Amino acid sequence: MSIHIPILIIISPLLAAFLVLLTRKYKIVLATGSIIISIVFTLTLSSRVLSSDKITYHLGGWRGPLGISLVIDGLSFFFSLIALGLGLLVIIYSIPEKRYGRTYYFLLLVSLSSMIGVIYTADIFNMYVFYELLSLTMYLLIAYPKTGVTLRASFNYLIMGGVGLSFFLLGVGFLYAMTGTLDIFHIAEKLPAVFNSSTRMVLMSFVLIATGMGIKIAVFPLHGWLPDAHSMAPSPVSALLSGVTVKIGIYCLIRVVYTVFSAEMFFLINSHNILMVLGVVSLLFGASMALAQKDLKRLLAYSTINQLGIVLIGLGIGTELGLTGALFHILNHAIMKSTLFFCAGIMIAETGTREVQGLNGFGRQQPVITFAFIIASLGMIGIPPINGFTSKWLICLAAVEAGYVVLVAIILMASAIAAAYYFRVIQVLLSVPLKQDPMSGHEGEQMIHRGNLFRSWPIYILAAGCLLLGLLPTLGISLVKPAVSFLLSHAAP
């Protein structure tokens, strides 16, 4: 039975999703149980994967390029842990909300299953299919409260996501035309021979795939869907979107660049320079736009564009330090941004307003949640005892080592702008309200006692994770090491 674990990790949330639609009483038990089963299965594979071994599983018994295989190596394992861990916390966070019916848990479970499907598959068309499934569930989850703003935001995301994935599919088509196979590792074997004969088609497919993934990652020119979608969604869905779904796009980009097109080609066509430039522009754009926002969740959404710019800079540098920093920053940003969105959800539910100015006096009512918010935002800025500092520091070191000193200045400037807008929010949180509003105090008391346990424990766990990874940076780097070593064993820049 243990040989079938890779497919069981994908099937367990999917099966639970369809069983959730049949029952009403057991939906939460099924949801959390299936994700816990998947996490347990993933952890049992950890010993084999961390010793730099690759686990392959052939669906249907068809080997090689004939069938679809699942491959779990350091990179997939790392991303799947992030996705499953955050998925479990999102489900726990959405337990006390009575408005979420069976459809919500169904969509959450299908989206988590398709995330793991994208991460584990070794067949590039299967990656497209699972990614479309993930995007479909995300469009529905954003539009779950069927108000006008959420529908418009979700429709915007649908159009841009559909276009992006069409670009990706066209790139896959070019790859198939050149090599005749769809398995990632077989394409990697056959591609160098093709590259010498028809360079332009390889470049065309790379550009198409990179553009398609760029739309899903929301780099600067293609980011238009992100502020609306991430801010108008319900809070647990926002945490899942910002924390994991954009990272799946980065995973696909890394997988295609480092495994399919080997890293030599990546450096040969100067795309690492383009990636760094795009990262810098996203960084500054996200920081400046976040400074001007009055809505709390929109501010956090632009901050996501900011941090993903840093990840792209790290990826563009391409050395071992740069890759370690970028992957570690993906983990850190997932934890920190989820903490921030969970706290924002509680703040919006209790004060009734989405504006930053309306959060007056929240710090006095709920000191622990405010403390978690402060820890996570300090990490986003990059202040030492919190994990965000470690990953930004690694990327700055990699930039200096590779000779791009200007990048360090730009990252520091963007961190200063991030400090400006996060401290503005913290200042409002910690301030005393001008006049005592009797109604808000009364409602605040009620909401504190109602279902607060399920909402606050994920926040405590995530904030503790921020502190832990910050105080013990070697723990985080040892998680990232297998992924980086796998990427670099294929690369020789």
Partner 1 sequence: MNPVNISLLVFMIGLYGVMSKNNLIKKIMGLTIMNGSIVLFFISIGYRKGGLAPILEKGTTGGIPTTIFVDPLPQALMLTAIVIGISVTALALAMIVKIYSKYKTLDIQQLSKER
Partner 2 sequence: MGSSKIIRTIVQKLFPFIMLFGFYLISHGHLSPGGGFQGGVVLGTAIILLALSHGIEQTEKKFKSRWLNMLEKLGILTLIFLGFLGIFFGWSFLGNFLPLGKPGEIASGGLMLPFSIAIGIKVAAGVSAIFYALIKYRGEI
DSSP assignment of 196-209: HH-HHHHHHHHHHH
Give Cβ neighbours of residue 213 (< 8 Å, ≥ 6 apart).
164, 168, 249, 250, 252, 253, 256
Which one of partner 2, partner 1, none interacts with residue 274, CB within 5 to 8 A by kind? none
Report residue 335 as tokens. 């934890």
Which one of partner 2, partner 1, none interacts with residue 448, CB within 5 to 8 A by kind? none
Question: Which of residues 177, 400, 413, 475 is near partner 1 by CB under 8 A?
Answer: 177
Taking alpha carbons only, the member of 307, 271, 294 closest to residue 417 is: 307
Taking alpha carbons only, the member of 77, 191, 62, 173 closest to residue 124 is: 173
Per CB under 8 A, which of residues 288..327 are in contact with partner 2?
none
Question: Which of residues 55, 97, 176, 358 is near partner 1 by CB under 8 A?
Answer: 176
Which one of partner 2, partner 1, none interacts with residue 176, CB within 5 to 8 A by kind? partner 1
Question: Which of residues 36, 170, 268, 447 is near partner 1 by CB under 8 A?
Answer: 170
Question: Which of residues 50, 55, 59, 426 is near partner 2 by CB under 8 A?
Answer: 59
Which one of partner 1, partner 2, none interacts with residue 60, CB within 5 to 8 A by kind? partner 2
Instruction: Map residues 60-79 to x or -, x wherever contact with partner 2 holds by CB under 8 A.
Output: xx------------------
CB of 54 vs partner 2, minimal distance in Å: 17
CB of 1 vs partner 2, minimal distance in Å: 8
Coil, strand, or helix at residue 414? helix
User: Phi-psi bin for 93: left (phi > 0), alpha (psi -120 to 50), beta?
Assistant: alpha
Per CB under 8 A, which of residues 197..256 are in contact with partner 2?
none
Number of residues that bind partner 1 (CB under 8 A): 24
Taking the C-alpha atoms of residue 105 and residue 173, their distance in angstroms, rounded to an integer, is 34
- The one-character DSSP state at 386 is S
Instruction: Map residues 119-158 to x or -, x wherever contact with partner 1 holds by CB under 8 A.
Output: ------x---x--x---x--xx--x--x-x--xx-xx--x
CB-based burial label for 435 (10 Å; 0-12, 13-18, 19+): exposed
Report residue 437 as tokens. 């509003």
DSSP assignment of 53-112: --EEEEGGG--GGGS-EEEE-HHHHHHHHHHHHHHHHHHHHTSS-TT--HHHHHHHHHHH
Report residue 3 as tokens. 């040989």
Report residue 164 as tokens. 């992006």
Which one of partner 2, partner 1, none interacts with residue 158, CB within 5 to 8 A by kind? partner 1
Instruction: Map residues 16-55 to x or -, x wherever contact with partner 2 holds by CB under 8 A.
Output: --xx-xx---------------------------------
Return phi, psi of residue 70, to 5°.
-105, 135
Which one of partner 2, partner 1, none interacts with residue 155, CB within 5 to 8 A by kind? partner 1
Which one of partner 1, partner 2, none interacts with residue 37, CB within 5 to 8 A by kind? none
Which one of partner 2, partner 1, none interacts with residue 218, CB within 5 to 8 A by kind? none
CB of 166 vs partner 1, minimal distance in Å: 5
Chain residues that interact with partner 1, rule: CB under 8 A: 125, 129, 132, 136, 139-140, 143, 146, 148, 151-152, 154-155, 158-159, 162-163, 166, 169-170, 173, 176-177, 182
